[in-house]
Every structure is written in C-alpha cells, then in structure tokens.
Amino acid sequence: MKENFFNKLLNKARENAALACLHLADGSTRTYAQVFDRAGQYARTLQALGVGPGDRVAVQVEKSAENLTLYLGTLQAGAVYVPLNTAYTREEVAYFLGDAEPALFVGGAADAELASRFPGIRCLTLDAQGQGTLVDEVNRHQPLATVVPRETTDLAAIVYTSGTTGRSKGAMLCHGNLAMNAEALIEAWGWQASDVLLHALPIFHVHGLFIAMHCALGTGTPMIFLPKFVGAETLRWLNRATVLMGVPTFYTRLLGESGLTAESVRHMRVFISGSAPLTPQTFAEFETRTGHRILERYGMSETIINTTNPLVGERVPGTVGYALPGVEVRIADAAGVEVPRGEVGMIEVRGGNVFSGYWRMPDKTREEIRADGFFITGDLGTMAADGRVAIVGRGKDLVISGGYNVYPKEIEEALDDIPGVRESAVIGVPHADFGEAVVAIVVPDGEPLDLEQLRPHLADRLAKFKQPKALFNVGELPRNTMGKVQKNILRDTYRNTFRAE
Ligand code: AMP
C-alpha cells in the first residue's frame, strides 16, 4: 500500500496550520504551518544534497526545533532517519556510520575528524541554536511541495538498540509501523484537541521521537518542547500542559519537588510512564501526593508500544496493562508455545507494530522473529486470565542460583518495601558452588544502612535460595539516559564478590 507516514502528519498540520505546534523553552511558539514549512525546506535540501528515497540520514545532535524538522523533512523526502544517542562517543558513532552507511551524517562541529574517516558520507553540522552548515543550506531552499511516495513496508527509520550485550543492532521500522502505532496510541490514550503535551524526553529514542511526538503531531495539538527534563523547570511548564510522558526518573524527580501538589497538577489529564519499570512505591507516592494514578505502558525500539494500562479502567502498579489493538502478546516457553496464564515465560509480540528485522543482520533477525511472525522480546513476564501483562525482568537478568530461577524484580520489590531503602537492584554473579549467587545493591534513603538489619525482613518474605548472599550500599544506581538501570555495569563491578570462596 502506498502511504508515506508523513502524509498523515501533514494532513493534520494543514487542518491546524495557524495553531501552535511547539512552545519552546525561550518562550517562543511555532505554528503547525511554520514547522511543516521548515520540514519541507529540509526535504528539499536533502534532495538537493542527493539524498534519495531509502537513503539513510544519521543524526547525532542536541534536541531542538531544527532537529525535529530535520526528522520530518527526512520522512517527507522518503529517506530513512537514523537517530543516534547524543551520549555516544566518536568511536561508537564511527561504528554506526560504518554499519548504516548513510548518505548524510548530521553531527556536531567537532565531527570533522569523523568525516575524514568516511569520505563517502556527506557530513554537516547543526547545533541547538540552528546555526550550522546544514541550516545555511536549508535557509536557501523553498519548501518541497510534494511528499515522496513510499509503501507502508518501506523503511522510515533505523533505531539502534542500546546493545548492552554485543554489538548494537539497527531495528528497521517501516512507515506502516509508525502509522499503526501512532493511531493505536492516540485512541488508547484518548488524545483530545485540547491536549498539550509536555515533551521533555530526548528525541534520539523511540519514546520521545515516535511515541510522544506522533501523539501530538498526529492530532494537531501543541507540545511544550523542552531540551531536557529539569525537575523545578518542568514543574513550572506543567501548568500549561495536560499530558506528561516520561521515564520513571521523571516521576521520582518530580516527587522531590515540594511544589508538586494535587492543586498544582489538577488540570492534568494523564501522566504516562515507560521505558523502564515504575516501582509500585513511586506509583503510590505520586497518587498520595497528586491524586493521579500514573498510566504505565510497555514498549521497545523494535516494536514501539506493545501494551498499556487503560485510560479508563484499573491502572495496576507493577503491570503494563493490555495489548494494544492490532498487537498480539503471548507468554511463551523456549519453543514459542504459550505457557499457562499466570506462569512466567518470554513475552512475544506480533502485529503491525513489529519491526521488519535488524539492519544487515539476517541471522539475528531469524533468531528473534519466529516463522509465525512473533518477535521474541527478551523480556520475561506473566499474563493474567484477563490478558493483563506484568514484566518480571529482562531474560538476560534472570539469576539461576543452585539450579533455581530467581527473578530479580521479586527481590527488589521486597527490598524496596523496607523502611530506609530508596531503591535497589539485584543481579547474579559467578559463584563456585551455586553457579550464580544473588547479590543486592541497595540505595538508602539517607545514611548508609546496616545491611545485616535488612536480612530479617527478607527472611520473612523470600525463600532461602532467593535471599541475597551479599548486599552493598551505593549512593545511586548506574542508569542510561532513558532511566534504565545498567545491570551489566553492576555485574562487572561485583563480578569478583565470591572469587575467594
Ligand atoms: P528500548 O529498546 O531502549 O526502548 O528498551 C526496551 C526495553 O525497556 C524493554 O524490552 C523492557 O525491558 C524495558 N521497558 C520498557 N518499558 C517498560 C516498562 N513499563 N516496565 C519495565 N520495563 C520496560
């Protein structure tokens, strides 16, 4: 089917041409007409630079309105957007350029050296103020008046997974994936003409780039577009918003602001959380303080969004709700056979949201997408009788101690319930006797805890084989930019805990 996803957004932009699309941190506003005209200038510039349909445009720049219009212009020109985390080092970016082979790389001013390593790739800069050589080019061009036709199965973006084990993989997302997911989310979250989204997420990741932005652009409603999340400032902007989408860290930081009260967020329609688990403690504290029950949903680079708690109906903490319309979820064993309801298994997903494979990795694609079309997510979970899904943890974080499966989340929840514990992370480390031993890393609320005092609390709640063999106090857990705890770093740090035994 012929459908460049950009057309859907453009139609909404035309209907709402004179209305605000972006409220920027400097107090200025851009209308839909301005944003989509600018996107058109980018599209024409890409064409002038020889970037054709299917060509990749790799982008590693700070979040800005220019960055957003570069993304839209790439879609309009029928090219493939490849966002890169701003935290990536030059060597990491070199890997992505070698892998994606973009026609154009838009990066920082310091990337001239990188450019010299890839003579076949056009390298241009773009900075947050919109000053730079690409912007100079763009300013010279009129908007492209047409939209380059694409099939729903044509590539729209390649999103590299964070790759904590092995090389990062490029998830290939098509125009149809973006369109289907945007439509399902707008419906599921009851998007309204009066909505104003507070957008403080990065736009190099599916959460900020697709999930958040497509809900607003797909309904022609405004976004408060902030370069990043800063607790006090974000709270001030919240006065003008109706929807916040964030990672759990946003909510723990907001709870640290004394200005967060029921009164201050009375006008909000919904708070949405995802990309990492929201603890039941944060959910409960947020409800006590504001009266709002945070709506948690579950997604990933390869599938955008899979499941969501309901807008109307019970939002159950510690669960990620039900499969979106058009998405099938099953909890399966290693052979892909569904396990009985309530039992732990691998979460598998099939539907219009599922990516078409990993860029130039046919073997990986075959390993992770089954012949029947189900994608093996790598997340372990359960499904209740009514279809409600709960995530137990990443499969690779499962600890096997003395032959028993230990699901870290269960131990983390028990630890987090103990007074004086702010949060915790549980990992498995090598152990001569048990194969792996359970180790808990604990962040105290204030002073370091006497860890031995925690043991009696756990003894009441957990079978002996699940109880940590060692506990450590730390000031904070290592997290990536999306708020995910980096357990690979913890495993490295505590790898030798039992080496002498
Ligand atoms: P990414 O591809 O960077 O978006 O990471 C996707 C992974 O984030 C998923 O496979 C899950 O492990 C995790 N994730 C996303 N949303 C949630 C959630 N609501 N609860 C727990 N884990 C989540």
Q: Are residues 51 and 174 in the same domain?
A: yes
Residue 1: pLDDT over 80: no
Verify that 436 and 371 share a domain, yes or no. Answer: no
Query: Strand pairing partners for 81?
Result: 57, 157
On whether both 52 and 159 belong to a single domain, the answer is: yes
Residue 115 in any domain: the answer is: yes
**Full domain range(s) for residue 480:** 399-494
**279 and 361: one domain?**
yes
Q: Residue 112 has what pLDDT?
A: 74
What is the average pLDDT across 91-104? 94
pLDDT at 329: 98
Q: Please state the atom number of ligand 1 nearest to the C-alpha of residue 297.
A: 19
Q: Give the span between the Cα atoms of 180 and 186, in whole angstroms.
A: 10
Q: Whose CA is nearest to atom 9 of ligand 1?
A: 300
Ligand 1 centroid – CA 175 distance (Å): 22
65-76 vs 5-15: helix axis angle to the nearest 10? Answer: 120
Closest CA to 468 of 496, 409, 427: 427
The answer, yes or no, to whether residue 170 has pLDDT greater than 70, is yes
Whether 264 is in a domain gets the answer no
User: What pLDDT is attached to residue 111?
Assistant: 72
Give the β-pairing of 322-323 and 304-308: antiparallel
Res 394 pLDDT > 50:
yes
426 and 443 co-located in one domain: yes
Separation CA 286–CA 53 (nearest Å):
46
Give distance in angstroms: CA of 347 to centre of ligand 1: 12
**Amino acid letter at 134?**
L
Sorting pLDDT into bands at 50, 70 and 90, what band is 481? confident
Residue 174 CA to ligand 1 centre (angstroms): 20
Tokens of 92: 């990491």
Residues 390 and 413 in one domain: no
127: confidence class by pLDDT, cuts 50, 70, 90: low
CA 103/CA 21 separation, integer angstroms: 30
In a domain, residue 310? The reply is: yes
Same domain, 413 and 440: yes
State which amino acid sits at residue 272.
Answer: I
Q: For residue 54, how far is its CA from the centre of ligand 1 (angstroms)? A: 28
Please check whether residues 281 and 390 belong to one and the same domain. yes
Q: Which position has the token pair 């989340």?
A: 409
The pLDDT score that the predictor gives to residue 128 is 45
Same domain, 389 and 419: no
Region for 392 from its dihedrals, namely left if φ exceeds 0, alpha if ψ lies in -120 to 50, beta otherwise: alpha
Which residues surround ligand 1 with Cβ inside 6 Å?
161-162, 206, 274-277, 296, 298-301, 320, 377-379, 391, 394, 482
Nearest-atom index, ligand 1, CA of 159:
2
CA distance 179 to 3: 9
**pLDDT at residue 363, as a whole number:** 96
Q: What is the pLDDT of residues 48-57, one digit of tens each?
A: 999 999 999 9
d(CA 107, CA 61): 6
| Residue to mutate (ligand 1; options 279, 302, 324, 391; most atoms within 8 A of CB) | 391
Q: What is the DSSP string of 311-374?
A: SSS---TT--BEEPTTEEEEEE-TTSPBPPTTS-EEEEEEETTS---BTT-HHHHHHHB-TTS-
Which atom belonging to ligand 1 lies closest to the Cα atom of 320?
A: 19
- Domain assignment present for residue 128? The answer is yes
pTM: 0.92
Query: Is 215 inside any structural domain?
Result: no
Nearest CA, atom 15, ligand 1: 275
- Residue nearest ligand 1's atom 6 by CA: 300
SS3 at position 192: coil
Looking at ligand 1, which atom is closest to the CA of residue 391? 21
Position 292 pLDDT exceeds 60: yes
- Going by the DSSP 8-state scheme, the letter that residue 454 receives in this structure is G
| DSSP H or E stretch at residue 471 | strand 470-473
Where a domain ends, among 341, 362, 394? 394
| Cα 384 to Cα 409: distance, rounded to the nearest angstrom | 18
The one-letter code for the residue type at 269 is R
Is the CB of residue 485 less than 8 Å from the CB of residue 276? yes
Mutate to test the pocket of ligand 1, among 300, 319, 355 (most ligand atoms within 8 A of CB): 300
CA of 300 to the centre of ligand 1 (A): 5
Tell me: do 428 and 308 sit in the same domain. Answer: no
Lowest mean pLDDT segment, chosen from 28-42, 154-168, 372-386, 434-448 = 154-168
> Ligand 1 centre from 275 Cα, in Å?
4
Chain position carrying tokens 């409800």: 287
Averaged pLDDT, 157-180: 89
